[in-house]
């Protein structure tokens, strides 16, 4: 490559760096810690799955199913608590004082 071509390539890359949108850069920096944490969680899950005798995808599927069941149970518990509070409010608002 000629010297002129190298100069052109260098100036083009410098120009690209200068035009990086400051808002995108700010957002990227704000989300950096969360992305790093998500990646660490992902790697830790893979390490956990690899300790099993089962294939990683089978262990992951079992873990996802377990999480789904736990979430469903938690949702039912929350719904029951909300209904209990509604009934209590209704009972207090209907009864004369």
Burial track 18-30 (b if 16+ CB lie within 10 A, e otherwise): eeeeeeeeeeeee
> Residues 50, 55, 57, CA angle at the centre, nearest 5°?
95
Tokens standing for residue 17: 């760096």
Structure confidence by residue, pLDDT tens digits, 22-58: 888 888 889 999 999 999 999 999 999 999 899 999 9
Task: Confirm whether pTM is higher than 0.85.
Answer: no
- In 3D, which of 58, 61, 56 has the Cα closest to residue 46? 56
């Amino acid at each position: 490559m000629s010297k002129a071509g190298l100069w052109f390539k260098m100036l083009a890359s410098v120009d690209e760096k200068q035009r990086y949108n400051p808002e995108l850069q700010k957002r990227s920096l704000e989300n950096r810690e969360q992305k790093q944490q998500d990646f660490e969680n992902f790697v830790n899950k893979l390490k956990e799955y690899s300790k099993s005798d089962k294939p990683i995808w089978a262990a992951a599927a079992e873990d996802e199913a377990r999480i789904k069941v736990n979430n469903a149970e938690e949702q039912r518990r929350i719904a029951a608590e909300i209904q209990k509070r509604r009934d209590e409010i209704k009972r207090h608002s209907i009864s004369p004082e």
